[in-house]
Chain A
Amino acid sequence: MPDPTRPILSVSGLETRFHTRKGSVHAVNGVSFSLAPGELLGVVGESGSGKSVTMMSLLRLLPTPPADIMAGRVDFEGQDLLSLTEDDLRKLRGSKIGFVFQDPMTSLNPVFTVGHQIMEPLREHLKLDKRAAQKRAQELLELVGIPDAERRLRDYPHQFSGGMRQRVMIAIALACDPKVLIADEPTTALDVTIQAQILELMKDLRQRLGMAVIWITHDLGVIAGIADRVLVMYGGQVVEQAPVKDLFRTPKHPYTRALLSTVPRINGGRAHRLEVIAGQPPILKSAPVACSFRDRCPSATALCAGTNPPLTDHGKGHFVACLNAEMADV
C-alpha cells in the first residue's frame, strides 16, 4: 500500500450551485475532506443534504447548466480534477476513479449486453483487445460473485435481479482497478440479505485490492459496519466528521445525535415512541450565513442565527461544526 498518511484524494472548499428559473439553489457549500489510501469513508445525511451532488461534482458528472461548480479544488494524484479538460477527465473516470450509481436499473444500458458494458471501460481505458477484455470481464463477474459468469456476459440487464445488477455495476466500476471507488447508495434499493452479501464483498475487495472507497448512504447501520471514518452532511455542508467508533459513541453535533436516535434498534428494549427530527431539511436559496440546522435543533441559541459555525477540531480526528458542541457534550 502507498504512504498511508498522504491522502489519495483531497477536496477543499467545494461549492456547487444549481441555476434554475426560480433562482439558484446552493447545494454544496464549502465542503472539504480527504481520503486516505485504502480507507472507507462513509457519507451520511438525509435526502437533499448534498451527499450525492458533492460526489458527482468531484468528477463533474452533473450537467452544466443547471449545475455550476463555483469554487473549490479536488486534488487527485497531483491534478486538480476541477480544472482538467473534458478529455483528460474522461481518462480518469472509470479507470482511476470508479463510480457505482444508486439505481442499477436506470444506470445500465438496457440495449447492450452486460458483457459489452463491462468490456467498454476495459477496451477504452486499458486498450485491451476483444478476447482479453472478455476474459477480464468474466473474471470480474466471478469476483463479484455472479455464478456461471461466462454465459451471463451475454445476458441483458433485465435478465438480472436487482442484487445481481448492482454487482454488475460494481464489476464495471472495478474493471480498471480504480484507486478510488465512489459508491452512491449502492445497497439502498436492495433487500437486507443481498445488502449483506454486497457489504461482505466490499470488505473482501478492499482488502484484496487496497482501494479507497467513498460510501454514500442514509443507513447508519450500514455505515457502522463498514466505514473507517464518517462525514455527516447537512444543508450542503459537512457538520461532523469523525472515526466511526467515536461518531457512534460520542456524537457531538445535534443533527448527528438526532439521526442516530431516529433509528429503531434491533435488540434491547423497544422505545415507546420513535424519536423524530421535526421539520424539513432546508433548501438553500443563498449561501448560508447562519447554522442551517438551527430551526430543527433542540439546543439552538441566539448565537446560532448569527454565524455559520465552522468545522472545528475536537481532537482525535473529530471535527464538528456547532457552536454548542462542547456544551451539549456534558
Chain B
Amino acid sequence: MSDLSPKPLVQVRDLKMHFPIFSGLLRRRSGAVKAVDGVSFDVFEGETLGLVGESGCGKSTCGRAVLRLYDITSGSIAIDGEDIAKSSQSDLRSKRSLMQMVFQDPMASLNPRMTVEAIIREPLDEHTRLSSAEKREKVLELMDAVGLNRAFSGRYPHAFSGGQRQRIGIARALALNPKFIVCDEPIAALDVSIQAQVVNLLEDLQDQFGLTFLFISHDLSMVRHIADRVAVMYLGRIVEIAPADQLYAAPRHPYTRALLSALPEPDPSLENTRERIILKGDVPSPANPPKGCNFCTRCPDVMAICRDQEPPEVDIAPGHRTACHLYSS
C-alpha cells in the first residue's frame, strides 16, 4: 500500500448468507445453515486481504457472496463505490468484468471439452466486441503473462499439470482486466513446490496490473507470505482482522492463537520449544451455532459471559479488530 490514505475498493458490511434447510414430508423450511453470519470488512485498492479459517467456517461462501454468486440474505457489498448487494443478475453481468474469481479445483473449473484458447477467450466473447484476430492476440498475451507456452493454446485441460491448469484459470480471470479478484484456495490442490510458483505468479500479476485480491486459504503460512492484511473466520464470523505482520506476531483472539500454534514448525529445534494450544473437539454445526460467542465450546479462555452474549467487535490497535470478550471491557 503506497498511498497515505488508501481507499477501499470493496466494502462489505454485515454480510449474511444463510442457506435454508428443508425437511419433512412437505419440505418445509426448518432452519438455516448460517454459513456467513454478519461479516464486515474492507479491501483496499492494490492490497491482498487474506481470509483464513478451517474448512466449514464459511470463508469460501463469503468469497462467493462478495461477488454475488449467491443471492445474499442481507448486508451490503460495495465494489468500486457501487452497491451490488441487491443488483439483479443481469445488472451484475455487466459488472463482471470488474470482478473475477479463481477457483479452487482447476480441473473442475475448466471445461474439459474446450481448448485453452476457447476457455480464456470465453469472457472476451461475452463482454467485448473485439474481432477474432484481436481476441486471439489477447489470449496469447494472457498466456504469456501467466507463463503458459503459446504453442499449447489448442490443447485441452487434461493435457496440463495441476499448476498449469491453475495458470489457465488465472489467465481466464485476467482476460477482462478486472480490478478485484477473489482467489478461492487457488493453491490448495497443488504440490508444495508448485504452490510457490503460483503464489509468485499472483504477486507478479498484482504488481503488473495493479490488482486487488481477496485471497481465501486455509494455509496460514502461505497467507502470511502473500497477504497485507489477514481476516480470521470462525463459524461464519470474522473473529480477528489485522495487518499480517501484527496478526502473526501478536495474535489476540484465542482462536487465532490456537490456529497459529497448531501450525507445524519446519525446524525441529524450534518445534520442541513452542507452546501448543490443542483445541478440543470439532467446529460446531453452522446450522445450530452455540449461544453467545461461536467459539465458546472450544475456547481455552472461556468465561461465563461468553456462553451468554455475543462478543462485540472492538479495535485494539490501529487496523487491528477482534471480537472477543477478553478485550471488550
Chain A interface residues (CB < 8 Å from chain B): 46-47, 147, 161-164, 191-197, 199-200, 218-222, 224-225, 244-245, 248-249, 258-260, 262-267, 270-271, 273-277, 280
B224 and A266 contact, CB distance less than 8 A:
yes
Residue in A164, A221, A260, A274 whose CB lies within 8 Å of B282 = A164
Contact A263 B221, CB 8 Å, known A193-B279, A221-B265 = yes
B193 and A258 contact, CB distance less than 8 A:
yes
| Chain B residues whose CB sits within 8 angstroms of the CB of A244 once the complex forms | 268
B220 and A200 contact, CB distance less than 8 A:
no
Contact A162 B278, CB 8 Å, known A248-B267, A264-B224 = no
> With an 8 A cutoff between CB atoms, is B264 at the interface?
yes
Flag B226-249 by CB within 8 Å of A: 1 or 0 each: 000000000000000000110010
B248 and A267 contact, CB distance less than 8 A:
yes
Q: What's the Cα separation between A45 and B269 when bound, in Å?
A: 21
B282 and A265 contact, CB distance less than 8 A:
no
| Chain A residues whose CB sits within 8 angstroms of the CB of B271 once the complex forms | 224-225
A225 and B265 contact, CB distance less than 8 A:
yes
A266 and B220 contact, CB distance less than 8 A:
yes
Residues 255-272 of B at the A interface (beta carbon under 8 Å) = 258-269, 271
Contact A264 B55, CB 8 Å, known A196-B262, A274-B199 = no
Number of residues of chain B lying within 8 A (CB) of chain A: 40
Residue in A47, A200, A259, A264 whose CB lies within 8 Å of B222 = A264
> Nearest A residue to B197 by beta-carbon distance?
A276
Residue in B224, B258, B265 whose CB lies within 8 Å of A224 = B265
B200 and A276 contact, CB distance less than 8 A:
yes
A296 nearest CB across to chain B (Å): 9
A to B CB contacts below 8 Å, 9 in the list: A161-B283, A196-B262, A225-B268, A244-B268, A245-B268, A263-B192, A274-B200, A274-B225, A276-B200
Which of B55, B193, B225, B282 counts the most chain A CB atoms within 10 A? Answer: B193
> With an 8 A cutoff between CB atoms, is B276 at the interface?
yes
Residue in B54, B191, B203, B266 whose CB lies within 8 Å of A193 = B54
Contact A196 B282, CB 8 Å, known A218-B192, A276-B193 = no
Flag B263-295 by CB within 8 Å of A: 1 or 0 each: 111111101000010110111000000000000
Q: What's the Cα separation between A192 and B265 when bound, in Å?
A: 12
B54 nearest CB across to chain A (Å): 4
A218 and B269 contact, CB distance less than 8 A:
no
| Chain B residues whose CB sits within 8 angstroms of the CB of A274 once the complex forms | 196, 199-200, 225
Q: What's the Cα separation between A259 and B258 when bound, in Å?
A: 27
Q: Besides the contacts A194-B54, A196-B262, A274-B200, what 15 more A-B pairs have beta carbons closer than 8 Å?
A: A147-B281, A161-B283, A162-B55, A192-B259, A196-B278, A200-B276, A222-B264, A225-B264, A245-B268, A248-B266, A262-B193, A262-B195, A263-B192, A265-B224, A280-B161
> Nearest A residue to B195 by beta-carbon distance?
A262
Which of B54, B199, B224, B268 counts the most chain A CB atoms within 10 A? Answer: B268
> With an 8 A cutoff between CB atoms, is B218 at the interface?
yes
